[in-house]
Amino acid sequence: MLTLSSRRRRTAALLAVAAALTVAAPVAEARPGGGGSFGSRGSRTFSAPSATPTAPGGGMTMQRSQTAPSPGMTNPGMQAPAATGRRFGGGFFAGLLGAGLLGALLGGGFFGGLGGLASMIGLLFQVGLVVLVVMMVLRFFRRRNEPAGAGAPYARSNLDGVQGPGSPKGSQGPAGGMFGGPRPAQARPVQIGPADYQAFERLLGDIQDAYSREDRVTLGNLTTPEMAGYFDEELRNNAARGVVNKISDVKLLQGDLSESWGEDRTDYATVAMRYALKDVMADRASGRVVQTEASEAVELWTFQRQPGRGWVLSAIQQTR
């Protein structure tokens, strides 16, 4: 039979092994972004990008962003905070139920003493009645708090359309995201042409190359400050682990436009891209390869452009 001290030693040993395995576990993806979804897409930051032939399932919602959700909109990638205000009936009915059960244990019920089988049945009936009342009250107030039109299907605009790379006319993206709201007042159509697609493909390779070389200056020139900050965080984490992410032979295999739109003076374009690459994690001191990643990836990259400037990367999202 194990003594208390031996059980403690065994538990400590198991926890130490679990911690070691956790530290030694490799990251899921090593390329820029680490296989996550982060960045900003203007008013569509927290909506999933539309499906395309390259990404038939569309894109995932954003996990990290410096863009604050609009009023009434929550970030699907983050857990909603618990409500701080009191809910009507919660404390009252909980106290009532607790008092009834406590009274039953002490010999009294909701409305008097309980005894025998009949008293137990009566108690169960009273408990069921209280639960039913609580459910009705909560349902009533939940319906009152729902926004008008909640749950109604969203009809996409006739401007929607998806055209592949090389199309001179480009495409306008969907009028709304997964929240079913109307097109923002400041949104406007943006035409995407062959020169834009060439810029997107060039940025794909240049960003991967700069990330591999840990060239933070070039990354800052090719991305928004938000994305540059995320990449810098990843590079610092790699340095702390004593590894470096080496990426080479990046080649775009297929790509098409998911959405394009404009807000105020900024143009946006979300592009689905399937590309090949050589992606390894190497020991920083010896150069020995310690981890090899997948040789192909499919992601949705969002680029933004302001008047007189070129396209820069503003978000990366994984496919569903």
Q: Are 202 and 61 in a shared domain?
A: yes
**281 within 8 A of 290, measured Cβ to Cβ:** yes
296: domain CATH number is: 3.10.450
Most confident of 2-11, 133-142, 213-222: 213-222
Q: Is residue 17 part of a domain?
A: no
Within-domain flag for 20? no
Q: What is the pLDDT of residue 310?
A: 97
The answer on 104 and 59 residing in a single domain is no
Of 86 and 292, the one with more pLDDT? 292
Residue 45 sits at the vertex; the CA angle it makes with 42 and 50, to the nearest 5 degrees, is 110
Q: For the stretch 171-185, what's the b/e string if a residue is b when 16 or more beta carbons lie within 10 angstroms of its beta carbon? A: bbbbbbbebebeeee
pLDDT over threshold 60, residue 12: no
CA 254 to chain centre: 24
Query: Are 53 and 192 within one domain?
Result: yes
Residue 79 lies in a domain: no
**116 and 245: one domain?**
no
Question: What residues make up the domain containing 302?
Answer: 27-67+161-177+186-318
Please report whether residue 250 resides in a domain.
yes
**Same domain as 124, residue 42:** no
Cα–Cα distance for residue pair 94/112, rounded to 1 Å = 19
Nearest residue to 271 (alpha-carbon basis) of 307, 310, 309, 315: 315
Domain identity same for 313 and 197 = yes
Q: Is residue 6 in some structural domain?
A: no
Note the pTM of the prediction, 2 decimals. Answer: 0.60
User: Does residue 125 surpass a pLDDT of 80?
Assistant: no
> Model confidence over 178-214: pLDDT tens digits?
344 444 447 899 999 999 999 999 999 999 999 999 9
Q: What's the CA angle centered on 241, arms 235 and 242, to 5 degrees?
A: 90
**DSSP sequence for 144-179:** HHSPTTTTPPPPPPTTB----TT-SS--B--S--TT
Percent of the chain with pLDDT over 70: 59
Q: Are residues 132 and 197 in the same domain?
A: no
Number of domains in the chain: 2
Greatest alpha-carbon span in the chain: 86
Please check whether residue 232 is in contact with residue 181, taking contact to mean a CB–CB distance below 8 angstroms: no
Nearest-angstrom CA–CA distance, 212 and 233 = 14
238/107 same-domain check: no
Q: Residue 156 falls within a domain, yes or no? A: no
* pLDDT tens figures, 256-279: 999 999 999 999 999 999 999 999
| β-pair partners for 271 | 257, 301
Residue 80 lies in a domain: no
Q: Is the pLDDT of residue 222 over 80?
A: yes
Amino acid at 93: F
Assign 306 a pLDDT band (cuts: 50, 70, 90): very high
Mean pLDDT of the chain: 74
- 283 in the same domain as 251: yes
Element spanning 13, H or E:
helix 4-24
82-96, 114-128, 215-229: least confident range = 82-96
